[in-house]
Amino acid sequence: MNLEQILNKEELTREEIIFLLGLTARDEIESLFKKADEVRQQYCGDEVHLRGIIEISNYCDQNCFYCGLREENFNLSRYRMTPEEIIETARLITNFGINTIVLQSGEDHILDTDLIAYIIYSIKQKTDAAITLSLGERGFDEYRTWKIAGADRYLLKHETANPKLYSAYHLKQKLSDRISHLKFLKILGYQIGSGNMIGLPMQTIDDIADDILLCKELDLDMAAIGPFIPSPHTPYRLKKPGDVDLTLKTMAVARLVLKNVHIPATTALATLDEEGRIKGLNVGANVVMPDFTPTPYREQYQIYPDRKCMNDNPLNCRACLQIQIESIGRRISSTRGDSLKLSPQQITNWSFK
């Protein structure tokens, strides 16, 4: 196959995606990265959107093999933030000029429909921020209630588009269910995010190509692609971490295929590679998701160990990100960073402030 021709095509076939993911020559990989950066510039501009994450609970009813929050990890000390702590942290995030709040937790059903709706509504009363929920698979009625309360977006990663691998990693869950949830969230008017992990046990390059194609089929607003990092006290604790170069190639190919989609440079990538955040922003990413979970909770949200910036305080974190982003000629956005696929009118119609 001819690399130049493939990089200049509008649509890529599965075979061409597999070819790009399999590139090994450094100059060819650099050509892929350069093209992805151009496509990012064309569809997203030079602004980088910050999304402030609050990890509101590390309880989880699921047992995903790769995750340190899994229910059967009895070595983890568990916490659940109070509504007041969450609302106050959200206000603090917006004081730093960050206009998206991500409320993230394991699948914790003690955080019930009404409690989450109250938190969403309260944050909306006190701030102009967009709210992303990342609370796992929940009830369809819950999604509807939270949308009416003011939630804007829902992040639910599919992790792998291979149904057999999905069932191997998540014993109680099915890939088809996850896809149904994402489609229903879209129908409700959420801006939806999903994505996958690179380097999970038994995964092949073909599987990663299918991950990218699933992101396209779902018509995502955000696609989060990060490396697998083994976590202690999980069945995959002795497995190898995902490869940084393959993660970067996947992000770059995703940018070529998905075009006007938000793609974050993930914390997992920055954890495996000191320069990971900048490298990610240079191969197609346009979003960074700093963690604003207050101490002592932050250390206990151990999906994987030794997370980047674990001990940063919010003020340092914002300043450090600004220096990093400006060092590559980009700037932090002052907007909410809504979907690149929706008109301002469509976004306003779904806002219930």
Positions that interact with ligand SF4 (CB under 6 A): 60, 62, 64, 67, 69-70, 106-107, 136
Closest CA to 271 of 238, 300, 230, 236: 230
For residue 300, count CB atoms less than 10 angstroms from its CB and return exposed for 0-12, middle for 13-18, buried for 19 or more. Answer: middle
Residue 306's SS3 state is coil
Toward ligand SF4, which CB reaches closer, 150 or 242? Answer: 242
For residue 24, count CB atoms less than 10 angstroms from its CB and return exposed for 0-12, middle for 13-18, buried for 19 or more. Answer: exposed
Toward ligand SF4, which CB reaches closer, 33 or 59? Answer: 59
Indicate the helix (H) or strand (E) that contains 60: none
What is the nearest approach in angstroms of ligand SF4 to the Cβ of residue 194?
13
What is the nearest approach in angstroms of ligand SF4 to the Cβ of residue 81?
15
What is the nearest approach in angstroms of ligand SF4 to the Cβ of residue 30?
34
What is the nearest approach in angstroms of ligand SF4 to the Cβ of residue 273?
22
What is the nearest approach in angstroms of ligand SF4 to the Cβ of residue 106?
4
Q: How far apart are CA 144 and CA 113, in angstroms?
A: 10
Q: How far apart are CA 144 and CA 141, in angstroms?
A: 5
Toward ligand SF4, which CB reaches closer, 34 or 78? Answer: 78
Is the bond into 296 cis (omega within 30 degrees of 0)? yes
Toward ligand SF4, which CB reaches closer, 160 or 282? Answer: 160
What is the nearest approach in angstroms of ligand SF4 to the Cβ of residue 70?
4
Toward ligand SF4, which CB reaches closer, 62 or 196? Answer: 62
71's tokens: 């229910």
What is the nearest approach in angstroms of ligand SF4 to the Cβ of residue 62?
4
Q: How far apart are CA 68 and CA 73, in angstroms?
A: 7
What is the nearest approach in angstroms of ligand SF4 to the Cβ of residue 102?
14
Residue 50's SS3 state is strand
Toward ligand SF4, which CB reaches closer, 63 or 127? Answer: 63
Contacts of residue 153, defined as CB under 8 A and 6 or more positions apart, other chains included, come to 100, 130, 131, 132, 133, 190, 191, 192, 193, 221, 222
Toward ligand SF4, which CB reaches closer, 42 or 180? Answer: 180
Beta strand extents in 36-157 (DSSP E only)? 47-50, 52-57, 100-105, 130-134, 153-155
Map tokens 């046990």 to a residue: 201
Toward ligand SF4, which CB reaches closer, 231 or 250? Answer: 231
Closest CA to 39 of 232, 208, 260: 260
Toward ligand SF4, which CB reaches closer, 76 or 252? Answer: 76
Contact assessment for residue 337 and residue 51, using Cβ atoms and an 8 Å cutoff? yes
What is the nearest approach in angstroms of ligand SF4 to the Cβ of residue 25?
35
